[in-house]
Amino acid sequence: MIKVNRDRLLSDLRELAGIGRFKTGVERVALSPLDLEARRWLMRRMQEAGLEPHMDEVANIYGRDPDAARTLLIGSHTDTVPQGGWLDGAMGVIYALEIARAAKERGASSPIGIDVMSFQDEEGTYLAFLGSRTFCNNLTDPEIDAAKSGDVRLRSVLANVEPAANPHRLDPARHLCYLEAHIEQGPRLEQAGRRIGVVTGIVGIRRFRIHSRGQADHAGTTPMPHRKDAGAALMRLAAQVAQEFPRLGSAEERSGTSAASSCVRARPTSCRTRARWCSNSAIPIPPSSMRWKAMYAIGSINWAAALTVPRWSRWP
């Protein structure tokens, strides 16, 4: 049994959180100068732990155990969303580092070593799973060419990365399995009074854009029976989704799926004028065909009752 050093683990987590600290959290968006600084810090820690650190062409950081031919690959990600949490991703990486370090300190030779990984852009700033897909050799050049965040192209920020000559890749002969510890980003463990759980599924997001078309009129003088209020129709739909969605599907589907309404935009934007059209993105997760059919049904019920007809379309 490997005994980890709790104080050293916490100290590393706090030091890493100091790179890009933002209020009580951190901001290390993928491939930003702070993200790369954190990754170089991690490489130094890996070196001190007796691992061989490598940065690949997307700035995945891989710490290779030089004393083992077969390993457990353990890790997570050190990039964050803007104003992210200090434990998201970082915890899994520092756990891996500490396990590898403690295993080396124990000294006894083991036929199985520990390789440590911090994947790049697991938050999908430029391209979802950029790092893990690169490591698994299943990302194509056209996908990298097309990826961007706002107006910034992924290719342009990758120019700041200084990769090793021969980046390591997933090797089924070496990597026996991949393990990742991650902080729960919901309330279930706390509500159940549990300290740890096993992941049964991960988030998959589908976004839809819903348009509601009405008629722009004077907000004060148009009598209520003559109004075609795009905003009101859309809000009725959002309220109905919030009310009905939690009741749909099996108990298992209910516990693993949720829907949100966000990014509401009205045109024209004026307090004196009724919106001619409104759009809203609904974000239900994760997909389940039965729940999806029911979700559409909610939409059609509401649309029939609405003054205007909202349209669903897949968000690109």
Cβ of residue 182: shortest distance to Zn ion, in angstroms?
6
* Count of CB atoms situated within 10 Å of the CB of 63: 29
**H-helix segments, the chain:** 6-17, 33-48, 90-106, 130-135, 141-146, 154-158, 188-192, 230-244, 251-256, 289-305
Closer Cβ to Zn ion, 201 or 316, answer by number:
201
The three-point CA angle 79-150-311 to 5° equals 110
Cβ of residue 154: shortest distance to Zn ion, in angstroms?
20
Torsion of CA 271, 273, 279, 283, to 10 degrees: 30
Closer Cβ to Zn ion, 88 or 98, answer by number:
88
Write the interaction track for Zn ion spanning residues 86-125; mark x where CB under 5 A is met and - where it is not. Answer: --xx------------------------------------
CB of 16 within 8 A of CB of 38? yes
Closer Cβ to Zn ion, 181 or 307, answer by number:
181
Kindly state whether residue 180 participates in binding Zn ion, applying the rule CB under 5 A.
no
**Binding to Zn ion, residues 62-91 (CB under 5 A):** 88-89
Closer Cβ to Zn ion, 13 or 232, answer by number:
13
CA distances for 63 relative to 12, 52, 81, 116, 175, angstroms: 16, 5, 24, 5, 13
Cβ of residue 88: shortest distance to Zn ion, in angstroms?
4
Cβ of residue 135: shortest distance to Zn ion, in angstroms?
16
Closer Cβ to Zn ion, 88 or 121, answer by number:
88
The residues with which 312 forms a beta bridge, in sequence order, are 210
Site for Zn ion, rule CB under 5 A = 88-89
